[in-house]
Structure 1
């Protein structure tokens, strides 16, 4: 992890309350793995904001972040203007494994703002010749983003809670539509991940947790989670946010 300054190249709203930022960087773009995140320091805010990496363009030295406006901190971040120097720390945490054995077909499953880190993961897996299919869940049609980007990787199913776009229901309802995958990679709310890991307990899986973090570097122990080993805990920001599905208790 390193403290660096990035220059904000572009910022725009791509769906309701969902902001995409593109930043110029010559370090994180070279070393970050899918599933890792960066911490952004905000003026007049004590704690940094952890934002997962949605995409990396190594050739042009650009990193893409997506976040949802959910409070004062993210509202402040959404107000940054192009040209601003952004104070960042990263890359942080442990990402998704890219060498998980004999895997030919994978299923990506994202819920809401848990979708972004799966896009960069999908790109990297596709580069390895792995077949990628995706299920993306949102509250409603006005929150849907990156549909075409995921479709460029492979078959993609959009699910909305209210049925205003795509299939009505939850991501767990769509899993059986795409059979024959060797492993799954998921990111989203804890309730979604809990249901998925139970539904697919006989499958190899990796999950990225979205729990609220404090320091984002493993110092404050605000984001601990129990593991499958009784009495053992791990820090999401330091040991995760990605874990093997059977490793932690949700």
Structure 2
């Protein structure tokens, strides 16, 4: 159930170009937060920024009630967030959206495919899978070397392959190029990233079972405003903030 929380910033650090890692201390239990969900953050204390910002949850330290998020500064809102200090308060709605349904799946090996700011939620997912005895292979894509982050963290959990669009680090090209090159074996794949990447991934793996998580601008974040809908294969529409952001790879139509 979504709740409003007053979180305290415990840590805020730049970890790559325009990319920040923030630790948020919760006064309430974090045990209900699942991999793939996001928090909806209010920017500032006034009405300058009317819409909240949806940010994926990168990790959760349940014993200390710390929620970790990774975000990229792309505008005034995230720019404001990047400048906040330890001890500052964050008004957030959480946990929002659907999660990767790993409790319902039986697997021995999982393939994770992330691009850019779609990488963070896959880290929390990878940790949960490894804790369940699942072997994890991760393919992570970034635009350039200066934007690469969390490579060592993923390496601690399994095999990791990095692609950069300009070839400045790792493989040159896209995540689908790495997939074609290594042809990994897996039972399910899980992917998160920009829509063009997800379209490429689902096309490349169209005969494989998997789940995707969409990055999307949102209005209310709770399914009331219809600002983040996309067509589903059953002929209707899905709200990314409420029915997603995680979907079965064959459930929705990517525009």
TM-score (norm 2): 0.96
Flag the 1:190–1:28 CA change in 2: closer, same or farther, 3 A.
farther
Residues 1-250 of structure 1 mapped to structure 2, 5 A cutoff: 1-27=2-28, 29-43=30-44, 44-176=48-180, 177-230=182-235, 232-250=236-254
Shift of 1:215: 1.2
- Do 1:136 and 1:159's aligned partners in 2 also have CA atoms closer than 8 Å? yes
Q: Distance in 2 between matches of 1:224 and 1:170?
A: 27
**1:155 offset after TM fit, Å?**
0.3
Which whole-Å CA distance do the structure 2 matches of 1:55 and 1:190 have between them? 23
Distance in 2 between the 1:77 and 1:220 partners? 24
**1:178 Cα shift?**
4.2
Q: Go from structure 1 to structure 2 and tell me whether the alpha carbon gap of 1:133 and 1:26 turns closer, same or farther (over 3 Å shift).
A: farther
The alpha-carbon distance between structure 1 residues 201 and 100, as it changes in their structure 2 partners (threshold 3 A), is farther
| Superposition RMSD in Å | 0.9
* Inter-partner Cα distance in structure 1 for 2:14 and 2:138: 23
User: Given the superposition, is the C-alpha separation of residues 199 and 100 from structure 1 closer, same or farther in structure 2, using an over 3 Å criterion?
Assistant: farther
For structure 1, the residue ranges without an aligned partner over 5 or more in a row are none
Stretches of structure 2 lacking an aligned partner (at least 5 in a row): none
SS at match of 1:148: helix
SS of residue paired to 1:228: coil
Aligned residues of 1:17 and 1:68 also touching (Cα < 8 A): yes
CA distance in 1 between counterparts of 2:184 and 2:109 reads 10
Secondary structure (helix, strand or coil) at the match of 2:30 reads: helix
Per the alignment, do residues 186 and 46 of structure 1 end up closer, same or farther by CA in structure 2, a change over 3 Å counting? same
Preserved CA contact (<8 Å) 1:28 1:91: no
User: TM-score, length-normalised on structure 1?
Assistant: 0.98
Question: How far, CA to CA, are the matches of 1:162 and 1:17 in structure 2?
Answer: 18
Distance 1:241 1:75 in 2: 23
